[in-house]
Chain A
Amino acid sequence: MRRARELSICIYGIPLAFLGVFFVYPLLSILDVSLRPAGALDLSGFASLLSTDYYLGTLIFTVYQAVISTVFTLLLATPCAFVFARYRFRGRSLLLSLATLPFVLPTVVVALAFASLLGKNGLLNDVMSSLFSLDYTLIQLERTLAMIIIVHVFYNFAVALRIMTSYWSSVGIAVEEAARCLGADERALWREIRLPLIRPAMLSAGALVFIFSFTSFGVILILGGIRFATLEVQIYYQAVNMFNLPLAAALSLVQILSMMAMMMLYTSTQKRLHLAIASSRTIARRARTGLERLAVGCCVALVSGLTLAPLLALVSRSVLASGRLDFSNYASLTEKSRGSLLFIAPLDSVFNSLRFALMAMIAALILGMIASYLIQRPGRLARLADPLFMLPLATSAVTLGFGFIIALDEPPLNLRASWLIIPISHTLVALPFVIRSVLPSLRAIPPSLREAARVLGAKPLDTLLTIDLPLLGRGLVVGATFAFTVSMGEFGASLFVAQREWVTIPVVIYRLIGDPGMASYRQSLAMSVVLMLVCAGGFIVIERLRIAGVGEF
């Protein structure tokens, strides 16, 4: 018994140690340097925070836009998740995968896609003005809050959709059938059963969407224009342009503490909500009535409109040159451009990206599974662990980057210029996704199932393999998909690496976009399309792995 206990402490310690070494330690180091520059505590940052109401305004705006983004994302994603979970239709899983693609695209590319769709000379304005022969620009969203919200919804829709769909597919339909027998109508079903049941997944997804919008950086900078600044933008500005580290640290702390408070609140509501009613029986069926068909149709239209339209605008831009089809920019991706900029042919970066994404995905899945079990245990440590694992998402990339530089600079942890920094930092960011995808399903597993298995003589490992894994299958796939996607699309950490052969796809895109000339601009569009294709391929493989690996009963 004691050995089992020691073993479990060891296992639970792995993700905690990972977080401690690669997140908490660097973060504390940079805060220490920023707030105690000459050995004495320097709180001038906090003083200047409080001296004007400018930063309070920033904080309020940050929360405000994050709340709106989250509400809209959930409003759109919840009905869609229901339809995707309950009805089978052609192209369902393909559409689910495609909806995840926006997540992988670098902000610069998304900005381009939206400009070509919703911009002044964009596709939609062209269509509108030729349809209704308008002589003014109908859609003027550039540099408005509306544009920021639209793009946040575009980025985060898939997160909410996939987490809720996977959960909704795994909660049993028996309760609903029972209620219907007792005479409940559709409205009562939604009010009394469906919404209360989906709430854990909804909050889980909402927490992620909120954090993402809260710490939004590129979207705000590129699409919002300078009138809008979130905390994250302020931190970057103070740390990089002004080198005012005390103020940047104060802002970082405000950001982290507000996220921490949000997460605590969320965790405490989450605990009370879960109902143990998991079932891996698939409940999807064909839409029968006209109303059901209409619902499916609306959903498909919404998902395609929201995610596919901007992506298609991007694809069409990448293959059209002055009104003609032209694939020369794709052909040139195999050449080492001018033998100079990137040190490798753009297409070779695909293998680098895949390699790092695979490493990050495996690491995040293993650590994320263990962390989910830890969080789900009763006790104070578990309550603290949940927000702790979310913190990397809430921490400004610049702050953490500086932390890495000063903390991880001695052997055996001299990682500053090593390629290892890429999978490690990707795993840090991917972990919350795995946890948020797995946790709702894990909590929904009735303890009686495991107890029954144990009574029948199953060893812990057998219980894990035969009870938990099949029930967590969908959540794991969603987690794996996002871990893969996060890594494929990540840009910042990949730049830190000294070995020049380790260029990843997003780095290539940024380099090409920053280079002058139409040719490299079009190459960057082509490379973005390649990134999407590679990811779509990855999704298909991950789906396959599930069927082969855990399968459904």
Chain B
Amino acid sequence: MFRPIISALLVVIIVAGAVSAQEAERVVVLTHDSFAMTEEVLAAFEEHTGLRVEILRSGDAGQMVNQAILSKNNPLGDVLYGVDNTFLSRALEAEIFAPYESPELQYVNADFIPDDTYRVTPVDFGDVCLNYDIAYFEENDLSLPGSLSDLLLPKYGGLLVAENPATSSPGLAFLLATVAEYGVEGDFTYLDYWQELYDNDILVVDGWTDAYYGEFKVAGRDTGSRPMVVSYASSPPAEVLYSENPDVGAITGAIVDDNMCFRQIEYAGVLAGAANEGAARQFVDFMLSPAFQEELPLNMFVFPVRDDIMLPEVFAKHALIPENPAHVDPAEIEAKRDEWIQAWMEVMLR
């Protein structure tokens, strides 16, 4: 007979324990699942400003932008961080941002700033490019592909695994690199290129995790069978950093020749109608501050947009940054993304 009472008490205790402490003034950051930042850096910001930072992770980048658009009349947060150039136009067209020109922008390479309306502020960038298993190429005395067309050579047949652009952000980035290289009109379009990649036995899987951990073959790991994968330029240093014996050095490399990579730039913006617009601006400044920028590589494996930041040793040693990544205009991406992916699917998924 006491059981219901005990259960009721239990519920009260649980609920009481779960209710958070009294509300400080807060800044809510709407971001994607991959957000990560050193806690001390956030704590320093909180102490300095008296704000409490709340991180609202909202699915992948696409999901986050859609949620921000849907909740535009009553924003989910104060500041959005993590929209990249493949989704930027969608966010800008929906007018979810309030313009803000951060004074810290003077330290940022002007190439990263999309326009002079300052609706979004660049924070970091990363390049999607091919990674390879160093041991495989050495053992088989194989040279590295130096261009996208090289991948069509028979000697690279059956070696590459890529991601589906419909379901994966690096997959889309790689598709965009081929669109930039071969175009959508003429004798040999990006679709012809993919047709030949298909004939050369490329494997396409749905997500990065599946490609990288499931199909990519790396010396010393018992999974996967393909020595080339579509991944990030920052994957090789990350591989060193988190390998079980970092002393061995790099076991994978990135191929960063001209037009073989696609650059993803991530932006932040103050959400229009935010409950705490002042705090949102402070947070944008904070994201461009050296303290935050320095921590980007080791937290999210992306590079700072400020040009006066020293990279961590493992990145300085093992990371390659492509000099000439492929470029597609964000407005064109938003307008044509669906069409390009649908056409790609018809070629690849027959």
Binding site for B on A (CB under 8 A): 33, 108, 111-112, 115-116, 119-121, 221-222, 225-227, 237, 239-244, 321-322, 336, 338-341, 343, 355, 358-359, 362, 398, 401-402, 405-406, 409-410, 416-417, 419, 495-500, 510-511, 513-521, 549
Contacts and interface: CB of A to CB of B under 8 A. Distances in A.
B164 A226 contact: yes
B76 A405 contact: yes
A242 B38 contact: no
Contact of B10 (A120, A237, A242, A358): A358
Contacts of B153: none
B28 interface: yes
Lowest 8 A-B CB distances belong to which pairs?
A517-B242, A516-B238, A498-B54, A498-B56, A341-B36, A519-B242, A340-B38, A240-B62
B39 A362 contact: no
A517 B243 contact: yes
Contacts of B293: none
Contacts of A511: 33
B200 interface: no
A388 B261 CA distance: 50
Given A419-B18, A521-B213, A515 B58 contact: no
B210 A111 contact: yes
Secondary structure class of chain A's binding surface, majority of residues: helix
B80 to A, nearest CB: 14
9 contacts: A227-B349, A240-B66, A241-B337, A242-B337, A338-B299, A340-B298, A513-B209, A517-B243, A521-B213
A240 B65 CA distance: 9
Given A222-B206, A242-B338, A495 B20 contact: no
A498 B58 CA distance: 9
Contacts, number: 152
Contacts of A242: 337-338
Interface in B214-230: 214, 220-225
Given A401-B59, A416-B71, A419-B20, 19 more contacts: A111-B214, A115-B223, A116-B223, A121-B222, A121-B225, A336-B39, A338-B38, A359-B14, A362-B11, A402-B67, A405-B71, A405-B76, A406-B70, A416-B76, A498-B55, A499-B54, A500-B55, A517-B242, A518-B243
Interface string B325-350: 00000000000011001000100110
Interface in B179-234: 204-207, 209-210, 213-214, 220-225
A225 B76 contact: no
Nearest to A545: B3
Given A226-B349, A340-B37, A514-B209, A417 B62 contact: no
A401 B54 CA distance: 20
B242 A226 contact: no
B166 A237 contact: yes
B135 to A, nearest CB: 15
B252 to A, nearest CB: 10
Contacts of B164: 226
A479 to B, nearest CB: 15
A518 B242 contact: yes
A410 B74 CA distance: 9
Given A340-B36, A358-B14, A498 B209 contact: no
Contacts of A341: 36, 299
A510 B33 contact: yes
B40 interface: yes
Interface in B95-151: none
Contact of B166 (A241, A516, A549): A241
Contacts of B65: 243
B49 interface: no
B20 A499 contact: yes
Given A417-B76, A498-B28, A499-B54, A519 B244 contact: yes
Nearest to A365: B7
A362 B8 CA distance: 10
A515 B242 contact: yes
Contacts of A516: 235, 238-239, 241-242, 301
Nearest to A323: B222
Contact of B3 (A355, A398, A549): A549
B57 interface: yes
Contacts of B54: 417, 498-500
B112 to A, nearest CB: 24
Contact of A362 (B7, B37, B58): B7
A495 B14 CA distance: 20
A398 to B, nearest CB: 7
A517 B239 contact: yes
B324 interface: no
A519 B204 CA distance: 26
Contacts of B166: 226, 237, 241
A500 B295 CA distance: 19
A144 to B, nearest CB: 14
Contacts of B220: 322
Nearest to B8: A362
B14, B34, B220, B301 pick with most chain A CB within 10 angstroms: B14
A337 B133 CA distance: 27
